[in-house]
Amino acid sequence: MMRKDMFTSSDSEQQNTGQNTEQQDAKTSNYLQGPRLHAVTIGLALGLFLVNFEITIVSTALISITSELQEFRKSSWIITAYLLTYVAGLIIWAKLSDILGRKTTCISALFIFAAFSGGCGASKTLVQLAICRAFQGIGGSGIYAVNMVMMYELVPPPKYPLYTAMITVVVALSFSLGPIFGGLITSGGDGSAWRWVFLLNVPAGVLAAAILFLAVPSDFPYQGPGELVQQKGKTIKWSSIDFTGAFLMLAALALLITGLEEAASHLDWNQATVFGTLITSGLTWMAFFGYQWWISRPGSGIESVFPWRFCQSRVIGGLLLTSFMTGAVSITCIFQLPLRYQTSAGLSPLEAGVRLIPFSVCGPLGTIICAAFSKNRRVPPIYMALVGSCMQIIGLVFLSRGDPHDPDWYGLYGLEVVIGLGFGLCLGAATLLVPYVVEKRDLAIGAAAPVQLRFLGSATVISIVTAVGNSWLKDSLSESLRADQIQAIFRSSTTIVDLPEHLETLVRTRFVETFNLQMRIVVGFAVAGVFTVLLMWQKPQVKVA
């Protein structure tokens, strides 16, 4: 009898297993496969590479751009104009893709990005360039938001770690290779060579759009226009999109960045335009979060641009804040290090880009290490994030103590390795955790929100360190230089070589001291990053299957 029961139970288990296998096969058959899958993957990866490559490629081209346009003190606008709209548009694009379909929104974003990249390359003034950069950021945010959620929809959940590792490597490579290519383009050419930093995006963006147009099914991911992914099973209407929340978020960001940029441009914090915009930004942020809470009430009918349930989850809150701190540290270093090399050591853009190679290599390496240790449930990603955060702190502390009389100190290379590995570990961990800590209905927003916070962190901290650094530099130089000499340096840093030798040495020393001050500010954000990672602590820890 026992043997019969055992046989019956085994037979039943086999039958259930067969049914589960059939169900799994049915689910798997809904995903793209073969050459079409590979083509879509290449098209999406190219788009992700371009929009993140564009963020950092200008770092080594800034000196060349501002020298021709005669606006060095406003150089950070070239960066933040792009980041501002990039950050504000991510979640809106994710929502639009639910209504219009992934294919339509993705290709539209690519064409916007390519068109305004051409506009950036044709700009004659810094104002024109900043405006085109802002519209370029709108296209870039659409590419990133839609491409990220499409990556998760391309393959079944068991393949998430593989695709997540690929995404993080592509992103880290684009961040890290940008400064090198920026230096290659602007070195050895005429004063207008920097325009190719933007113009190269035009053919590359069109190529990515063509690949996706031919390879992505019109109903991807097997949904009709106006419908969500099958798991949601409902229709999204235009009236349900949180345009008010998007406007409040964009306004709060714009006011924050504008206030900090005003301080950096006018070299003075004691102005109404600075305090007024910063205070208004704070009030607008309060209105934004209050409105998000209000529309989260039952029966609202509006899909909030930033779900209030994210604020109610300690784990998701920790993930988003960790992304903010990661961007504050890593992307700020990517921008500030090339500037340090060019202003304090007098290096060319190419030489500055080459000096950034240790960071360029170790960023992607850190993401690979994180994926390798985390896969198959080996090590919880939160542990990798903690290690990465501590490495960033160690590297930044020593980076902020550079010898002002040795601007091209070789020890910087080792510190770039430490910070780069830390950045890669934190980026990889945050990306790996997304599909495991957010609900299925929030996958599109969950993929976009950490990116949004990462670039919000970078845009905010770049503006802060630029404002503080410029103000301190002006005060320190006023003791030895005339007002017209200081103004000439803030119009174009290349005028440093026109100063008498002893003054040139003094100015370059002051630039190192300015950089050290800026890095001490960044250390504070790195320390805060450890505590934001600990917000994700739970038992048992999330592991990647």
The 3-state secondary structure of 356-394 reads CHHHHHHHHHHHHHHHHHHHHHCCCHHHHHHHHHHHHHH
The pLDDT assigned to 375 comes to: 76
Provide Rg for the chain, Cα atoms: 24
The pLDDT assigned to 349 comes to: 80
- For the cut 80, the answer to whether the pLDDT of residue 119 exceeds it is yes
**Which residues are bridge partners to 227 per DSSP?**
235
pLDDT band at 418 (very low <50, low <70, confident <90, very high): very high
Q: In the block, which residue shows the tokens 């590359």?
A: 204
pLDDT band at 259 (very low <50, low <70, confident <90, very high): confident
One-character DSSP codes across 499-530 = S-HHHHHHHHHHHHHHHHHHHHHHHHHHHHHH
Mean pLDDT, residues 411-434 taken together: 89
pLDDT band at 46 (very low <50, low <70, confident <90, very high): very high
Which domains, and CATH codes, for the chain? Answer: 33-219+242-534 (1.20.1250.20)
Specify the 3-state DSSP secondary structure of 303. Answer: strand
8 A C-beta contact, residue 253 and residue 264: no
The pLDDT assigned to 494 comes to: 77
How many Cβ atoms sit within 10 Å of the Cβ of residue 309?
A: 13
Mean pLDDT, residues 437-463 taken together: 77
What percent of the chain is predicted at pLDDT more than 90? 21
Handedness of CA 457, 450, 444, 366 (dihedral sign): positive
What is the C-alpha to C-alpha distance for residues 54 and 79, in angstroms, rounded to an integer? 10
Taking the alpha carbons at both ends of the chain, their separation in whole angstroms is 40
The pLDDT assigned to 15 comes to: 42
Angle at 343 between CA 265 and CA 181, to 5 degrees: 100
Specify the 3-state DSSP secondary structure of 138. Answer: helix
The pLDDT assigned to 73 comes to: 65
Q: Which of 237-246, 314-323, 398-407, 473-482 has the lowest mean pLDDT?
A: 237-246
**Helices 314-344/34-57 angle, 10° precision:** 50
pLDDT band at 464 (very low <50, low <70, confident <90, very high): confident
CA distances from 258 to 39, 84, 250, 458 (A): 41, 10, 12, 15
**8-state DSSP, 297:** S
Length in residues, the chain: 545
How many Cβ atoms sit within 10 Å of the Cβ of residue 373?
A: 19
Q: In the block, which residue shows the tokens 């113009």?
A: 199
Identify the top-confidence range among 176-190, 191-205, 292-306, 441-455: 191-205
The pLDDT assigned to 532 comes to: 92
- For the cut 80, the answer to whether the pLDDT of residue 233 exceeds it is no
pLDDT band at 266 (very low <50, low <70, confident <90, very high): low
Mean pLDDT, residues 230-244 taken together: 61
What is the rounded (10 degree) CA torsion for 178, 179, 181, 185? 130
To the nearest whole number, what is the mean pLDDT of the chain?
Answer: 80
8 A C-beta contact, residue 461 and residue 332: yes
pLDDT band at 1 (very low <50, low <70, confident <90, very high): very low
- For the cut 60, the answer to whether the pLDDT of residue 267 exceeds it is no
The per-residue pLDDT for range 484-531, each reduced to its tens digit, is: 888 888 777 778 888 888 888 888 999 999 999 999 999 999 999 999
The pLDDT assigned to 408 comes to: 81
The per-residue pLDDT for range 149-164, each reduced to its tens digit, is: 888 788 887 777 778 7
What is the rounded (10 degree) CA torsion for 25, 29, 31, 33? 110
Mean pLDDT, residues 303-321 taken together: 82
The per-residue pLDDT for range 345-370, each reduced to its tens digit, is: 888 888 888 888 888 788 888 888 88
- For the cut 50, the answer to whether the pLDDT of residue 22 exceeds it is no
One-character DSSP codes across 224-247 = -TTB--TTT-SB--GGGB-HHHHH
pLDDT band at 190 (very low <50, low <70, confident <90, very high): low
Angle at 453 between CA 195 and CA 431, to 5 degrees: 95
pLDDT band at 419 (very low <50, low <70, confident <90, very high): very high
8 A C-beta contact, residue 144 and residue 89: no
Q: Which of 73-87, 345-359, 378-392, 454-468 has the lowest mean pLDDT?
A: 73-87
Higher pLDDT, residue 12 or 7:
12
The pLDDT assigned to 87 comes to: 76
- For the cut 70, the answer to whether the pLDDT of residue 91 exceeds it is yes
What is the C-alpha to C-alpha distance for residues 337 and 52, in angstroms, rounded to an integer? 18
